[in-house]
Amino acid sequence: MKRLIGLSSRVLSIVAAAAVAVGLIGVSRAAPAQAAALRVAVVNYALLLQQSPQAKAAVAALRAEFEPKQRSLQAQAHALQVRQAQLKRNAATMTQDQRDQAELNLREDYQDLARKQSEIQDDVNTRRNELMSELQKTLVQVVRTYAKQQHYNLVLADGVIYADSALDITPEILRALEAQPVPHQAPK
């Protein structure tokens, strides 16, 4: 279902870009004098999400926030593996009740570890979504500000199948993003 929604979203983006293009063709035929003044640009949004200092700061903040928790889980997993190996080595010298109790404790501890890993992964996903939302707002704001300052009438991002490199303002937007202060985000 999610894939279908994502697919329909991409199809709508392409249809919207095509409608804009058809509208631009209509404008250029209807009013050649106005079409000459029409300024259109393209932004590689995916590239901005990867290379902007704000995106790199968001990734670093996410890493700093969750790396200690991940290391703790790895240490717990290693301790469980050591206990499992000890149980395997000592199983012959243990009574059946001791062996059963040790196996039960080990299983419960593995289940507890899996639950903690799942909770941390949920926390990571939630925090990543928060950071991405903030980042997208920043990117849109910078693109809009740049477009207004440079007197662009239209800036396209997703859904563009082809654009001449002369229309690509991504490097300029990256420079504008680099000129902005990068927020230092404290872990939540």
User: For residue range 62-116, what is the model confidence (pLDDT) as tens digits?
Assistant: 999 999 999 999 999 999 999 999 999 998 899 999 999 999 999 999 999 999 9
For the question of whether the overall pTM of this predicted structure is more than 0.75, the answer is: no
φ/ψ region of 4 (left if φ > 0, alpha if ψ in -120 to 50, else beta) reads alpha
Checking if the pLDDT of 188 tops 70, the result is no
Q: Is a pLDDT exceeding 50 seen at residue 30? A: no
Please compute the mean of the pLDDT values over residues 129-158 and round it to a whole number. Answer: 93
How many CA atoms does the CB half-sphere of 37 hold within 13 Å?
4
Residue 153: the pLDDT is 93
What six digits make up the tokens of 130? 């928060």
pLDDT at residue 36, rounded to an integer: 61
What's residue 9's pLDDT? 45
Instruction: Specify the amino acid at residue 28.
Output: S
User: How large is the average pLDDT for residues 45-55?
Assistant: 92
What are the backbone dihedrals phi and psi of residue 153, each rounded to the nearest 5 degrees, phi first?
-90, -25
User: Which pLDDT value is given to residue 158?
Assistant: 85
